[in-house]
Amino acid sequence: MSYFQVLLEGENFFIELDGKEELLGFFTTRWVKADDQKQAELKAVELVKNDQHLHKLVKLPEGESPSPMIYFSEICKVNWFTYIKRKPGDGYSFYPMVQE
């Protein structure tokens, strides 16, 4: 087993902030233990998909809108000491999506 730091990007999430719904993207980091990089990527995406805090923020848009997506962005193999000092990861850095 190896330890990984995985950076993910989310796009097209309708999030309610300060009483206003906005189409936002986000970056987030997850720390996982996996056999290889592919398994680490899949585990990190599952952590985000199952994040109940994110589920509470996301609103279902009315009408046609782009589908929310989560993309793998970067991955780093880390040593066990770096991994044990971290939680699996939580939190998001949101940014506004440019609407065309």
Tokens of 67: 């589908």
pLDDT of residue 87: 73
Instruction: List, for residues 44-100, the tens digit of each pLDDT value.
Output: 999 999 999 888 888 776 666 678 899 999 999 998 777 777 777 788 999 998 755
In the chain, alpha helices (H): 37-49, 52-57, 80-84
Q: Which of 93, 83, 89, 70 is nearest to 8 (CA)?
A: 70
Give the per-residue pLDDT at 6.
95
Cβ(22)–Cβ(96) below 8 Å: yes
Residue 39 has pLDDT above 90, yes or no: yes
